[in-house]
Structures are given as C-alpha cells and as structure tokens.
Structure 1
Amino acid sequence: MFVARSLIRSGVMSATSGVVQRLEQRAQLADEIILRLQQQVGQLRRTIVGREEQRLAEENSLLRQEVTQLKATLVGAETRNGVKQIPVPKAGSTVAASAVKPPTQPAASAKAQAPAQAPADQKQQGAPENQKKKEKKEKPKKEAKKDGKQDDQAAAEVDFRNLDLRIGKITNVKKHPDADSLYVEEVELGETQPRTVVSGLVKHIPIEEMQDRMVILCCNLKPAKMRGVLSQAMVMCASSPDKVEILSPPSDAVPGDRVCCEGYEMSESFPVQMNPKRKIFERIQPDLKTDDKLQATYKGSLWKVEGKGHIVAATMANSGIK
C-alpha cells in the first residue's frame, strides 16, 4: 500500500514539472514574438517619417521654384514700367556708409566757427537755402505719385496674355468615385504625361461625348484637389445659369497647340502659374464671352489657333466663358 502511494505521488510531480516546463517555453516564445513586433513597429514608424520628410522636401522645392518665377515676373514687369532695379546692399556697404557720415560733423563745426556776415548777405543766402528745403520736401510727394501710377499700370497689365490656354484631347474619362456631378479625365496636351482634370460636367455632357473629345484647357491655374482628386487644369466652356457647352477648337488643331487672341501678342514661353491671391483669372473672366457668331472672344477680340482657325461654341451665343 505504501509503495503504491509513493508511485502515485512521483507520477503527479513528474506531470506537474512537465506542465511548468511547457508554460515556461510558451512564455519565452511569447516574449520573442512581442520583441519582433516591437522591432517591426519601430521600422514602420521610421519608414513613415522618412516618406513624410521626403514629401515636405519636395513641396519646399516646388515653393522655391514658384517664388523664383514670381520674382522674375515682377522684375520684368517693373523693368517694362521704367522702375529702376536697385540691388540689395551687402553687409560691407553699411560699414562704408557709416564711415562716410563722420566728416559731416567737422563741416558743421566749421560753419559754426565762421565769422558772422552782414544782415543783407544773410538774407540773400537764406533765400536759396529755403528754396532748396522746399524742393527736398516736394520731391518725395512726386515720387509717391509716380509709384501710384506704376501700381495702376501693373494692375492694368492683367489681360488675356496671363492665360495659358492650350488644345487637349480627352483620352480617358470616368465618373468621380466620391462625387456624382464630377468627371475625372485624362487629357493629352503634347507633354510627357497626360494631365488629370476634374470637371463638373456630368449634368451637362454625356460621358460618351466626353471620350476622345478635343477641348481647350486653361493650364496655369494652381492645381487643386476636388473631393480628393488633384485637378491640374480646367476645361473652358460657354456657360449660362441653365446651360453649359464645351468650346471646340479648329478641326485640324492638335494637342499642345496654343490658343492666342487677336491684338494680344503672346510670348514664346508659357505664362507662369497664376497666384490665387491676386485673383488674376477672376479679373479676366468677365471679359471672356462668345459673340453673336458663337466665336470665343476677349474684350471683343477673337480667340484663335494660329494658322488653323477660331474657337467656337456649338449653340451658345453672347454667353460667358469659364
């Protein structure tokens, strides 16, 4: 009997030690899994941070380029208006300027030490000095008036030449996944890559008529996201509160052809991207209209593709364009 009890106890103890050993093994395995997960999470965090830094660096580079272009445009406009470009003084020039000022003090003391002249001589000399002072006071006012005129001239320069209008072909079109009233189009412009354009034309133009259609695009608006999709241009249309029609180019126009306007000489380079804060397009748009012959105009001057023909609407005469 005693022997049987001893055997039972030894069996229970051996079984218990086996369970404990398995539990310890599982705990060690769990620790290893947790460590690997922590390492993977850390690697994912570093990857995400690196991508975000790269994206921000690219955005900064684009902003620098935009600022450089805007500076060049501003300098060109000021030069055409006769504004003299004064270089920014360097650090050394301030030292040189300060070194020139002290000699004026001995001159002032020399005047103070000069002998007094007769009252008649003082009156004769005083008159020219008073006139010089008046002239100095009047000069800043004249310069201020000139600056005001130059600002008016700069504002008057906003016209059709600020628009980058080109012929494009819609090679693919589909409805926006998150907006029932929007199309998402891929448009060929003769560039290395097609541009993505988002247009609110679903209620006006059937999707079958959008596919492979030749259109006029405004290409230098600032790209903007429309319900999550970045739009890189705008389809130009004749528009009224009740109806919208896409403008049509000449039949022999090809993607990449530039649209110009009679009486407005275009430069060889494309216009720079328009700054939304200056409201350039909003200032030009009220003068964009179709005439009674359905032809697109700016202040009465016809749009055209050089050597190929004019831009027209299908049926909408005397309508706004946007």
Structure 2
Amino acid sequence: MHAHAETQETCSLAAALMKLDPDDGEQIMEYFKTHALLSREKALLQASVREQKKLLVENAKLKKDIEQLRVQLQEKQKRRAAKALASKASPPSSISPTPLSSVTHPTSPAGAAAATTANPPSSSSSSPEGRERQSRRRRGERKARPTSDPLSLGAESRIDPSRLDLRVGRILNIRRHPLAEAMSVQQVDVGENRPRTVVSRLGENPHLDELQGSLAVLLCNVKASKIKGVASQARLLCCSASDTCVELLVPPSGSAPGDRVTFLSYPGEPDRELQSKQRVWDLLQPDLKVDCRGVANYKGCGFEVKGKGLCRAPTLTSCTIR
C-alpha cells in the first residue's frame, strides 16, 4: 500500500513538473530520483555502522562473560580435585582379618621356623618407613601421587597480552651504564611509593639527556635481575627497525605515571610476576609490533590507555617492539 501511494505521488510530481517546465521537467525529475536514492543509501549505511558498533560492544561483553565462566569452572575443578585427594588420603574404616588357616601357631617349633623363613629380618622392615610401606601393601594401597592444580594449568595455558603488567612511567633521570656503553640506567616513576631502577639497551644514543622527564611504557611484572652488576626492576618497551635505530614507545597525551596499558580484545588480569619457565614474554613478543600508522598493537589490537588513547612510536612505522 505504501509503495503504491509512493508511486502515485511520483507520477503526480512528474506530471506537475512537465506542466511547469516541459523542456527540463524530465531532467529535474531524474535529479529528484537520484537524490532520493542517495539519501536512502546514506540512511542504510548509517544504520549499518550503528549495528557494527553495537555488535562490537556485545562481543566485548560476551568475551568478559566467557572469561568469568572459565574462572568459575577452574575453581570448581580445583575443589573437586581437592575432595578426590582428601578421600584417597583418608584411611579405610576397617581392615580385613587374616584367615586363620594362613597363620602358623607361634608356639610350635615348626611354626617358629616357618615364620623365620617367611619373614627374614631386614633393616628396612624395622624402620618407620618400612613398616608404613608394609602396612600399605597389606591394605592394598598405593602412595598417593600429587595431582596438578587445574587452576594453575588454566593460567599457564592462557598466553595473551593481558598477562603483561604494562604501565605508563616517567623517566626521572637517565645515565650511561658504568660497564656497558650500549646500555643505560633509568630511574622511572610508575605510580608507586618509590621509583624503579631499569636497565635498557637504547644503543649508542648520544642524546640520552633529552629522554629525561619523558613518558614511556614499562613491563612491570618481570622478575628483578642484575644486568652487568645493576639490578633492573622492569623492562622499558622500545620500537626498533635495527640495532642502531631505537625509539621509546610513547603513551597517549594526558597519560600519568601508573596508568595501565590494556588491550580491548584481551580483558584478563596480569600475572603477579611472570615465571621464566613459562616464557610468556618470549611467546608474545614476536606479535608485538608497530603498524604502518605508527600504532603499537598485538595481532591488530592496539596498546590502549583507557579514556586517553593509543600508544605510538614517535617516528618509526612497521617495526618490532622489544
């Protein structure tokens, strides 16, 4: 019905235009039709953009819900494993008696000789460990083996950048490493009670003094270690195209020391401390890159300070982050 009415209105408008301007009436009508078609396409495009934004928000919410459900499942598995371990460790309520036919009377000489032959004296049976082992053997039990913690296994299997404790820091002072010309030592404020000492390989940059007072991005949950005799308590993230071309990764304007750097597609919480045996940083680092626009990202998901923007390289593009 609506389409029929619209067709009638179009025919009436065309007839009116032909009466008013017989020469250009058809061209004016074609212009109106084209304009109406463009307006309709624009409305459809705007509706598609709104739907896409809505889907992105719903997707992020679903990922958060999935993460919560995974944590709850791991906690249930942990409690179930603890109950199973406790039930295995508890002693049996009763012990089956030994059949009388298999017992030799200890008062008879033959019985004493048989007992001596069947159970020769040994040093291991007289020790507490030996007696416990023999008792378990009589009951048909085996020593309980330690079970793996499902929660820790789940945390170890999750390899994504949310496990990295990335924060904004301000370089308070910087100097050359006393034992390595290509290294530098910085005191960095990361929003804690005292600054952290960080040893970095910035190359043979003659203008280190210019970095004093600037903001940077630091990995704060690495294990503290000594580098050439100086204890380093964090890792300064740099982008580099080569060993000689190195720049500090720069947080967005308005950032402050202690601000978290997060990833929209990876909403998990960081580890308290990265364990060297899990090699989390080594596995993630090849996918930490600066794209062709100079934006730092992990597999296309940007380094973000919420409410303030994305982290970038000052001048470099299409390079690695280390």
TM-score range, shorter chain: 0.5 to 0.7
Structural mapping, 1:258-269, within 5 Å = 258-267=260-269
Q: CA RMSD in A?
A: 3.2
1:287 corresponding residue in structure 2: 287
How much does 1:198 deviate?
A: 0.6
CA distance in 2, matches of 1:241, 1:261: 26
Does 2:223 align with 1:222?
Answer: yes
Alpha carbons 1:239, 1:320 under 8 Å: kept: yes
How much does 1:241 deviate?
A: 2.8
1:304 corresponding residue in structure 2: 304
How much does 1:177 deviate?
A: 1.5
How much does 1:100 deviate?
A: 4.0
Alpha carbons 1:79, 1:85 under 8 Å: kept: no
CA distance in 1, matches of 2:268, 2:249: 21
Name the SS of the counterpart of 1:316 in structure 2: coil
Does 2:237 align with 1:246?
Answer: no
2:160 corresponding residue in structure 1: 159
Does 2:81 align with 1:85?
Answer: yes
Structure 1 length-normalised TM: 0.56
Does 2:235 align with 1:234?
Answer: yes
Q: Which one-letter code corresponds to 1:274 in the other structure? A: L
1:257 corresponding residue in structure 2: 259
1:102 aligned to which of 96, 102, 126: 96
Q: Which one-letter code corresponds to 1:245 in the other structure? A: E
**CA offsets, 1:2-43, max 9 Å, x none?**
xxxxxxxxxxxxxxxxxxxxxxxxxxxxxxxxxxxxxxxxxx
List gaps (5 residues or longer) in structure 1. Answer: 1-75, 107-146
Name the SS of the counterpart of 1:158 in structure 2: coil
Alpha carbons 2:294, 2:312 under 8 Å: kept: yes
Alpha carbons 2:289, 2:318 under 8 Å: kept: yes
Alpha carbons 2:289, 2:320 under 8 Å: kept: yes
Q: Which one-letter code corresponds to 2:234 in the other structure? A: A
1:21 corresponding residue in structure 2: none
CA distance in 1, matches of 2:229, 2:73: 39
Alpha carbons 2:296, 2:311 under 8 Å: kept: yes
Structural mapping, 1:111-190, within 5 Å = 156-190=157-191
CA distance in 2, matches of 1:238, 1:81: 42
- Residues 159 and 77 of structure 1: CA distance in aligned 2, closer, same or farther (over 3 Å): farther
How much does 1:86 deviate?
A: 1.3
CA distance in 1, matches of 2:316, 2:273: 29
Q: Which one-letter code corresponds to 2:256 in the other structure? A: V
1:275 corresponding residue in structure 2: 275
Q: Which one-letter code corresponds to 1:249 in the other structure? A: P
Q: Which has the higher helix share?
A: 1
1:5 corresponding residue in structure 2: none
